[in-house]
Amino acid sequence: MVSQESQTLSRSLLAGALDSRLSVRDGIEEDGLGRHLDQVIAALLSQRGIEDAARACSVGTRTLIRWLKLPEFSAAYRDARRAAVSQSVARLQQATGAAVSTLLKVMVDPNTPASTKVRAADSVLDHSAKAIEIEDLEVRLTELERAAEITKDRRSK
């Protein structure tokens, strides 16, 4: 069976996704999945593969594969995966200050071997360049969206 911790994680990840998809449960109820939805998605998120997830939920592997092909279930599972990844990214972003501090300390430490200093410096430069590229893309995208909106407004008049 799926651990209580996994079920709690799944419920928190699915809260928004399933609240906005009230019809998901109704649409898949006739397939017998409705009552297992939270448990199955928790298992898929926490187990190594489909076979392990099916075993954890006490359903057949073929049944789980069939459920994965249902558009409603697939959408709920995709939303749960996005929520899990989003939480992981947020945790990584919280650690960026410490990561940068570590790189900078290594880079300026007189006891650090030269090759390690070069790798640290290269990493700092690489990430800085990528950040500038992302900022530039965001500005360009914003400008394009604004231009598209102006064009749309002109056409509708």
pLDDT, one tens digit per residue, over 30-62 is 445 666 788 899 999 999 999 999 999 998 999
- Tokens at 56, concatenated: 């954890």
Apex 27 CA angle, 36 and 38, nearest 5: 25
The mean pLDDT value of the chain amounts to 82
CB 42 within 8 A of CB 2: yes
DSSP for residue 49 = S
CB 18 within 8 A of CB 24: yes
Kindly report the pTM of this predicted structure.
Answer: 0.54
The packing angle between helices 37-46 and 4-19, to 10°, is 120
